[in-house]
Amino acid sequence: MEIHLNRVDYMQVGVTSQKTMRLLPALGKKATQKVAIADHDGILTCFGMKKGEAVPVFKTLPGQKIARMDLGGAAGTPQEKIFVCSGSQVRGFTKKGKQFLTFDANLTESINAMHVSGADLFVCASYIYNHYCDCKDQDYYLSGDKINDITCLSSENLTRLIPVLACQDRVLRVLQGSELAYDIEVPGPPSVLEQFNKDGGNNVSTGEEILYGTSDGKIGLVQIGEDSAATKWELDNGKKKGGILCIDTYDIIGDGVNDILVGRDDGTVEVYGFDSASEPTLRFEHVLSESVTSIQGGCVGKESYDEVLTATYTGWVTGLTTEPQKAEVGPGDEVRMSKETQSKVEALRAELEQLQVKVLQGREQYQQTSQSSTAVSAVPVFSINDKFTLCQDDASYSLTLEVQTAIDNLLLQSDVPIDLLDVDKNSAVVSFSECDSEPNGNFLLATYRCQANTTRLELKVRSIEGQYGTLQAYITPRLQPKTCQVRQYQIKPLSLHQRTHSIDQDRPMNRLSLVGQFSFAEIHSWVVFCLPEVPEKTPAGESITFYFHNTFLGTQLEATYCKGEGHFRSDNISTISILSDVLSKEATKRKINLNISYDINDDSVSHTLKMIHPKLEYQLLLARKVQLIDALKELQVHEGNADFLIPEYRNILDDSTNLLEEYKKQPAHLERLYGMITDLFIDKFKFKGQNVKTKVSSLLEILDNYDLNSLLNFFSEV
């Protein structure tokens, strides 16, 4: 079933955070709903649509940045009280805009996730979860990693409220009071939670199912029980769309079953319907130009037309409505505009003119201050929404930057050798500048000159394990007076590793042990320095174990450490080598004497080579096939058909488009594999105290005529 939704822009507020727009419940049947939206200027705006124009109901005064919004109300009544959190404070407003609650949560950190259910208030700062009932402290929990979102289940089947936390370390933590009941592993870092079965527009859950979205773009449904959970389904992110920022359920298709509405950080809005087998299928997709921070289904623009309402990062409230767009072509050459739009445009123009005058005055004053010798110029910080994440599929980092106005240019600087990859979506003109690694330590200097109206940039960066440093991005928006802001991103020594929940214990493992006079916090900070996705806060307890896997090769790493002692086990000898180099360097910096011991398992090398083997073989075959395509095509043209070719070649011809696509997707894959095998070779003998750099050329020769056995022999012979 196809649906068509038309885009309507309603209004624009300031920059918004995730989940800060909600629809208030409708008063009667079929009436339009009011929209409440809160932004970074601290303004909570509530508006309704009248004759195509946004009419504000109320607007609060500016204040601290609002991070979340939720609706609540006494159980059994419409959930129309608006709760917003800013800093460590939670405020409540009635639907008329009267503030009835100010509650200070007394947290040292600011609240970044909140859920309201009846008289219960759940708030989360980075690692802390707090439950208040009637503003009285009830429960407290300290999570092992950052909390991204919270929701709470209540239903007849459950004896109590069940809070669920979405934590950065790829688990959903289900709590019971102040204790962890159990946790659920999910395929990526969860960024948003939503109850699957909601009672109409109200906020009260009636089921035990929870939808989650991850920051790498996956969606799943889990059924939560009191002491266990079951995964219902998971949707992969095959098309490499952006991470999920918001989810809602609403029957937009009109088949009586709630559909799933999804907003992503690359601007994609999706509607998933359910087929007869209750499997979610994509029914509708629309791409807005910026991150979708909030999404909800409802009725705003016109009575009896359902729509998907979205809010974007720069504060646009946009509806995708089922209302058909009128074909407004009348006589005469001008495209005729409806009266409403005309008045809207006029009002806007008038406002613009006024603003222009004010801005001119401002400019003049600013110019005048430049004459004075005592005045200073300080331009307020503009907000940047950035994300630097490892993509599992191609083992590269993706950097997305979003600014509330158009970006003029971007300067990328790195003090480690990294490769910048081309991204199709990115239309900016890139130019690489000559680098002088001495004396300024630059390995990459690139400028991106953006096309007009680019507010969002996506880049891809490929790093090499073992080489670490900082990537800096200087972002200059098209805003007077011109300023630029720098953002820093760490390229960690084991940059291609990702956290997992468990590892295969049967593989041959190498071990690196450290003993010395260091505290738990110190060794934790070293691990944070070496590996991505480790929480910065020192974990509670005496000791901790983290598991990682290498996204490129599939090798694994186990890190267990406590005060004065650390053990790292990996089947990849290069990983151990990098860790030992970096850790000893870090320890020397702090003048701590480390006792390092190794336990090298010679089988691990051949094991790793065998793991690489299928990838390498596949890539070599692919490269060979791709090489043949053009020649075969030419033969085909020359001979008129391909019947004379042997079946193998005919297959290549038939499959050529797929092969080429595959080849394009993985640029330099083979070179990277070669590099890693070379590292493995050098590292293996490094631990034996031999320097084999001179033999690398013969290794490369063997790789050029690749055969697993000869490679294994070469590794064992030398």
Partner 1 sequence: MLVPIFTLKLNHKINPRMVTVGKFDGVHPCLTAATQAGKVFIHNPHARGQRPVAHRLSQSTQDSDISLLNINQAVTCLTAGTLGPNTTGDTLLVGSQTNLLAYDVHDNADIFYREVTDGANAIVLGKLGDIPTPLAIIGGNCALQGFDYEGNDHFWTVTGDNVRSLVLCDFTGDGKNELLVGSEDFDIRVFKEDELVSEMTENETVTSLCHMHGSRFGYALANGTVGVYDRTARYWRIKSKNHAMSIHAFDLNADGVVELITGWSNGKIDARSDRTGEVIFKDNFSSSVAGVVEGDYRLDGQQQLICTSIEGEVRGYLPASKDLKGNLMDSSAEQDLIRELSQRRQNLLLELRNYEENAKGVSETNSGVGVIPANTQLQTALSVRPATEAQKAHVELSISTPNETIIRAVLIFAEGIFEGESHVVHPSAQNLSGCIRVPIVPPKDIPVDLHIKAFVGGKTSTQFHVFEITRQLPRFSMYDITVDSSAAPPPGRVTFSINDRPQRVVMWLNQNFLLPEGVDSPDVTFNSLRGGGLLSISMASNGQITLRTDDIDLAGDLVQSLASFLAIDDLSAEADFPGYFEELRTTLTEVDEFHSVHQKLTAAMADHSNYIRNMLVQAEDARLMGDMTTMKKRYRELYDLNRDLVNEYKIRSNNHNALLACLKSVNQAIQRAGRLRVGKPKNQVISACRDAIKSNNVNALFRVMRAGTASS
Nearer to partner 1, 521 or 637 (CB): 637
Residue pointed to by tokens 């010679």: 602
Min dist CB 484 to partner 1, Å, is 5
Among 1, 142, 282, 348, binds partner 1 (CB under 8 A): 348
Q: Which stretch binds partner 1 (CB under 8 A): 65-73, 253-261, 366-374, 539-547?
A: 366-374
Number of residues that bind partner 1 (CB under 8 A): 86
Span from 1-9, 169-177, 569-577, 607-615 in contact with partner 1 (CB under 8 A): 1-9
Q: How far is the CB of 549 from partner 1 (least distance, A)?
A: 34
Question: Cα(111)–Cα(223) distance, rounded to whole angstroms?
Answer: 27
61 binds partner 1 (CB under 8 A): no
Distance of CA 258 to the CA centre of its chain: 26
Cβ of residue 378: shortest distance to partner 1, in angstroms?
4
Judged by CB, which is closer to partner 1: 223, or 409?
A: 409
Q: Which stretch binds partner 1 (CB under 8 A): 32-40, 80-88, 358-366, 686-694?
A: 358-366
| 322-329: long-range contacts, CB 8 A cutoff, minimum separation 24 | 322/3, 322/4, 322/5, 322/252, 323/6, 323/8, 324/4, 324/6, 325/6
355 versus 540: smaller Cβ distance to partner 1? 355
Cβ nearer to partner 1, comparing 479 with 594 = 479
Site residues for partner 1, 314-333, by CB under 8 A, read 314-315, 325, 329, 333
Interface pick for partner 1 out of 238, 324, 331, 380 (rule CB under 8 A): 380
State the DSSP string of 513-559. Answer: EEEES--HHHHHHHHHHHSTT--SSPPSSSEEEEEEEETTT--EEEE
Does the protein bind partner 1 through residue 665 (CB under 8 A)?
Answer: no
Contact in structure between 343 and 324 (CB atoms under 8 Å): no
Residues 401-460 that bind partner 1 (CB under 8 A): 404-405, 409, 411, 413, 415, 422, 424, 426-434, 439-442, 445-447, 449, 453
**Three-class secondary structure of residue 192 per DSSP:** strand
The type of residue at 349 is R
| In the complex, minimum distance from the CB of residue 463 to partner 1, in angstroms, rounded to a whole number | 19
What is the smallest separation between the CB atom of 494 and partner 1, expressed in angstroms?
25
By CB under 8 A, the residues from 479 to 518 that bind partner 1 are 479-487
Nearer to partner 1, 206 or 476 (CB): 476
Q: Which residues pair with 703 in a beta bridge?
A: none
Q: How far apart are CA 537 and CA 521, in angstroms?
A: 8
Nearer to partner 1, 427 or 713 (CB): 427
The angle formed by the CA atoms of residues 625, 630 and 631, to the nearest 5 degrees, is 90
Structure tokens of 711? 């490679």
By CB under 8 A, is residue 345 in contact with partner 1? Answer: yes
DSSP string for 13-41: -S---TT-EEEPPPSSTTPPPPEEEE-TT
* Rounded CA separation 60/74 (Å): 23
How far apart CA 438 and CA 457 sit, in angstroms, is 30
278 near partner 1 (CB under 8 A): no
* Residue nearer to partner 1 on the CB measure, 26 or 37: 37
**Residue closer to partner 1, measured from CB, 331 or 689:** 331
628, HSE (Cβ side, Cα atoms, 13 Å): 19
**Phi, psi dihedrals of residue 540, rounded to the nearest 5°:** -70, 160
Phi, then psi, of 410 in degrees rounded to 5: -135, 135
CB of 449 to partner 1, least distance (A): 7
Binding window for partner 1 (CB under 8 A); candidates: 295-303, 369-377, 516-524, 579-587: 369-377
**Interface with partner 1 in residues 627-656 (CB under 8 A):** 630, 633-634, 637-638, 640-641
Interface with partner 1 includes 596 (CB under 8 A)? no
Distance, CA of 22 to CA of 11 (rounded, Å)? 14
371 near partner 1, rule: CB under 8 A: yes
351 binds partner 1 (CB under 8 A): yes
Q: Which parts of 195-214 interact with partner 1 (CB under 8 A)?
A: none
Cα–Cα distance list, 212 to 185, 218, 507, 562 (Å) = 11, 8, 33, 33
Among 106, 276, 370, 705, binds partner 1 (CB under 8 A): 370
Q: Among the candidate windows 108-116, 472-480, 532-540, 569-577, which touches partner 1 by CB under 8 A?
A: 472-480
Min dist CB 526 to partner 1, Å, is 23
Nearer to partner 1, 134 or 333 (CB): 333
Angle at 82 between CA 80 and CA 88, to 5 degrees: 155
Of residues 103, 182, 474, 547, which one binds partner 1 by CB under 8 A? 474
Give the C-alpha separation, 455 to 662, whole Å.
30
Q: How far is 666 from 393, CA to CA, in rounded Å?
A: 10
Residues for the chain: how many in total?
Answer: 718
**Is 8 one of the binding residues for partner 1 (CB under 8 A)?**
yes
Q: Does residue number 2 form part of the binding site for partner 1 (CB under 8 A)?
A: no
Q: How far is the CB of 399 from partner 1 (least distance, A)?
A: 17
